[in-house]
Chains A and B, each alone.
With several copies, the nearest count.
Chain A
Amino acid sequence: MLHLVNKSPYSSSSLDSCLKFATKGAPIILFEDAIYGAMAGTSLESKMIEVMKDHPVYAIKEDLMARGVNNIIPGVREIDYTGFVELVEQHRPCTWS
């Protein structure tokens, strides 16, 4: 299953809920305000590095650009909407808003 998270991890518990139920290896896409979770040098960075031990983490490029975030945590994979579609081809999605 592919997990889609769109809320800021600083103000919402959605990412935590997602992580609770995501099985090992399940990919996670951060988009909209959730991309702030992919930014390097933040209080959440170490947590995200732990997350990436169990899950491939993707961040939507268009959302990173819109928010002026260009320093992402090494290991987070930047994808565009075509990449988003490709992941949905491979996995059934589940949305955490």
Chain B
Amino acid sequence: MSEPTKMMFMMRKAPYGTIYSFEGLEAVLVMGAYEQDISLLFVDDGVYAIKKGMDTSPLGIKDFSPTFRVLDGYDIDKLYIDKESMEARGLTLDDFVVEPEVLDKEQIAKLMEEQDVVFPF
């Protein structure tokens, strides 16, 4: 058997303004079934994707944030967040629907270097 492919999903875009993070999440869910080594990184405006308390009903747009909570059931448990992006935006771990591990930029750089594939969403 070959080694599992190390794939990182890097979410860099804010939700709703563009669809990248939502469609990125759809890709993560599918890949979860393939028993590869998957991680999710929230960086830049991507940290907003997991913000608590979204209510998209007045806009009639589908709220995708609850889906992040089910990732664990798909064996996707490597969630990371960039400390600097989070702090610049006035967010703390209490603000999120999931509990990503907080990494500094050196740790993220190291993690990225270990990946076979980085998907930007």
Contacts and interface: CB of A to CB of B under 8 A. Distances in A.
Interface of A: 1, 6-8, 10-11, 13, 17, 20-23, 32-33, 36, 39-43, 45, 61-63, 65-70, 92-97
A6 B14 CA distance: 12
B44 A94 contact: no
A20 B105 contact: yes
Contacts, number: 102
12 contacts: A6-B17, A10-B89, A21-B43, A32-B16, A43-B90, A62-B59, A65-B55, A65-B58, A68-B51, A92-B115, A92-B118, A95-B120
A66 B108 contact: no
A8 B89 CA distance: 11
B3 interface: no
B45 A8 contact: yes
A11 B120 CA distance: 15
A96 B48 CA distance: 18
B108 to A, nearest CB: 6
Interface string B6-38: 000010111111100000000000000000000
A45 B90 CA distance: 9
A68 B65 CA distance: 10
B22 to A, nearest CB: 12
Query: What are the nearest 8 A-B pairs in CB distance?
Result: A33-B17, A68-B53, A41-B90, A42-B90, A68-B54, A43-B88, A68-B51, A62-B58
A8 B14 contact: yes
A92 B119 CA distance: 12
A80 to B, nearest CB: 8
Interface in B45-64: 45, 48, 51-56, 58-59, 61, 63
